[in-house]
Chain A
């Protein structure tokens, strides 16, 4: 029996943004169905890494593979179709503020529809689509917000809409970039728990970048520590000793101290 290809594989990836190196000679693998927490100080390259997984940021050197396919060898429409299978929850929600919640969720499947069908789904969502959206909103705990204007919701509720939009994509994997950065600790915990549970139910690969190491410890079997665009730790949270934690986060202080 052949082993299934890794969900994500980076091989010697270098990324520069604005002339500065962000990811340096990075190689790693995330297996299909794995749940991984991405930790590290600000500026370590967590966001860039997550975006590189979807081909939104292209490497200068090396390559990114998703399900065994190299992103740099895909035609634009193939890349689009691949992206439509990857759910992404953004730190800033990235919702259209003056649309209704239902419309923002329906937008998740734009990449899977033809233009006219997409237009129709945004203008007059079909009843069965609305029912599906409602079910998803129920799953993330805000079913009653279906027809509300998105910007009338609280930050935590908007984050749930963003999650619902990713769910509506029926993704094979979910990437989340600091999804709980703007949510209070109790809600942060319940949102991460929800993501992990949904990922287990639907069998997705889940990669979540987190600032809070406790959440990473409590919910994820694998922690990936990034520092200066390189892997500083990769393993189960239980093996993460004080010294390594110190190394991961202490450098942030010195980095600020030295003004780098």
Chain B
């Protein structure tokens, strides 16, 4: 199996080489090497470029943090937190309306025919429509949503927030719907048998039971949001990505590398945070 995969991979590379304009030798040409060594030289933090001046590295880091670091990190985190909270709220609503077991004429009592004629197929269509909407929302990448929203709203943090919120609503809507469809039906049927309405079953049974798993997805997407919020900055939205592209424009490669590392640290921080939250959730919800 491994061997076959290996041959297929080699074959694909050969095909790409033959049928595309990619020049593999170009990667190792003198010009590329030259560019890289220039970059590597300038990427070294300013104080380290002058030998024997390592002590001022701390001061340089502080300066960088005060210049763009804190602002960029704060904005990135702010954008992703607002976005994921919005997405979490919208996704939970989409999830409930897209869950086929909840949106049936007789929720959780599949064999009921009492109250003949009450069979309401409109609800099935609503669920179908919501599921298609979710597909649309998540089929368009965050980056494209942000691009469109920038054109509509102009430059501010909102295109990034809304782009992340829209895309993740689609994802959380689908995952939320699936979570609800996979819930054990017995407790929900019991509520239905005690005369509870669909809405009441939703708040008293569906949401409490689905909450734990939904929050797992929520925190996982939060992590992704932090990463994407950095990337969206490249479109000119004030997040870390914006300052990264600015440093590149000004040939400040040391600053650029510093901000890239900062982005990595932020994602790691979100990663740990969501990991802790998810571990806690697994134990207690």
Across the interface, A83 reaches (CB within 8 A) one of B113, B118, B195, B208, namely: B195
B194:A110 contact, CB within 8 angstroms:
yes
Question: Counting CB contacts under 8 A, is B114 at the interface?
Answer: yes
Nearest CB in chain B: distance from A251 CB, A: 25
B200:A115 contact, CB within 8 angstroms:
yes
- Beyond A56-B109, A96-B209, A119-B203, whether A72 also contacts B190 by CB under 8 A is no
Question: Counting CB contacts under 8 A, is B199 at the interface?
Answer: yes
Using a CB-CB cutoff of 8 Å, which residues 188-228 of chain B contact chain A? 189-197, 199-201, 203-205, 208-209, 211-212
Majority SS of interface residues in chain A?
mixed
B205:A107 contact, CB within 8 angstroms:
yes
- Beyond A81-B195, A111-B196, A115-B199, whether A75 also contacts B115 by CB under 8 A is yes
- Beyond A83-B194, A96-B187, A96-B209, whether A71 also contacts B204 by CB under 8 A is no
Nearest CB in chain A: distance from B181 CB, A: 17
A99:B115 contact, CB within 8 angstroms:
no
Q: Please, which residues of chain A bring their CB within 8 A of the CB of B204? A: 96, 103, 107, 110, 118, 122
B194:A96 contact, CB within 8 angstroms:
no
In the complex, residue of chain A having the shortest beta-carbon distance to the beta carbon of B186: A94
Question: Counting CB contacts under 8 A, is B121 at the interface?
Answer: no
In the complex, residue of chain B having the shortest beta-carbon distance to the beta carbon of A81: B195
Nearest CB in chain A: distance from B120 CB, A: 9
A56:B209 contact, CB within 8 angstroms:
no
Interchain CA distance A84-B197 in the complex, whole Å: 11
In the complex, residue of chain B having the shortest beta-carbon distance to the beta carbon of A119: B203
Across the interface, A99 reaches (CB within 8 A) one of B109, B196, B200, B208, namely: B208
Q: Could you tell me how many residues of chain A have their Cβ less than 8 Å away from some Cβ of chain B?
A: 46
Nearest CB in chain B: distance from A86 CB, A: 8
Q: Please, which residues of chain B bring their CB within 8 A of the CB of A58? A: 111-114
Q: Could you tell me how many residues of chain B have their Cβ less than 8 Å away from some Cβ of chain A?
A: 30
Question: Counting CB contacts under 8 A, is B116 at the interface?
Answer: yes
Nearest CB in chain A: distance from B201 CB, A: 8
Nearest CB in chain A: distance from B14 CB, A: 55
Question: Counting CB contacts under 8 A, is B285 at the interface?
Answer: yes
B195:A110 contact, CB within 8 angstroms:
yes
Majority SS of interface residues in chain B?
helix
Tally inter-chain residue pairs, CB-CB below 8 A.
113
In the complex, residue of chain B having the shortest beta-carbon distance to the beta carbon of A89: B190
Interchain CA distance A107-B201 in the complex, whole Å: 9
B115:A74 contact, CB within 8 angstroms:
yes
Interchain CA distance A57-B186 in the complex, whole Å: 15
Nearest CB in chain B: distance from A235 CB, A: 29
A107:B191 contact, CB within 8 angstroms:
yes
Interchain CA distance A9-B55 in the complex, whole Å: 92
Nearest CB in chain B: distance from A162 CB, A: 8
B186:A72 contact, CB within 8 angstroms:
no
B187:A95 contact, CB within 8 angstroms:
yes
Q: Please, which residues of chain B bring their CB within 8 A of the CB of A257? A: none
Interchain CA distance A110-B205 in the complex, whole Å: 11
- Beyond A111-B194, A112-B195, whether A79 also contacts B111 by CB under 8 A is no
Q: List 13 A-B contacts (CB under 8 A).
A: A56-B111, A58-B111, A71-B114, A75-B118, A83-B194, A83-B195, A98-B208, A98-B212, A110-B200, A111-B191, A111-B196, A111-B197, A122-B203
- Report, nearest first, the 9 A-B pairs whose CB atoms are least far apart: A111-B195, A58-B113, A84-B195, A55-B114, A94-B190, A110-B196, A83-B195, A80-B195, A94-B186
Point out residues on A near B: beta carbons under 8 Å: 17, 51, 54-59, 64, 71-72, 74-76, 79-88, 90, 92, 94-99, 103, 107-108, 110-113, 115, 118-119, 122, 165-166, 169
- A83-B192, A118-B200 given; 11 more Cβ-contact pairs under 8 Å: A17-B111, A55-B115, A56-B114, A58-B113, A72-B115, A75-B115, A86-B193, A97-B209, A98-B211, A111-B200, A118-B203
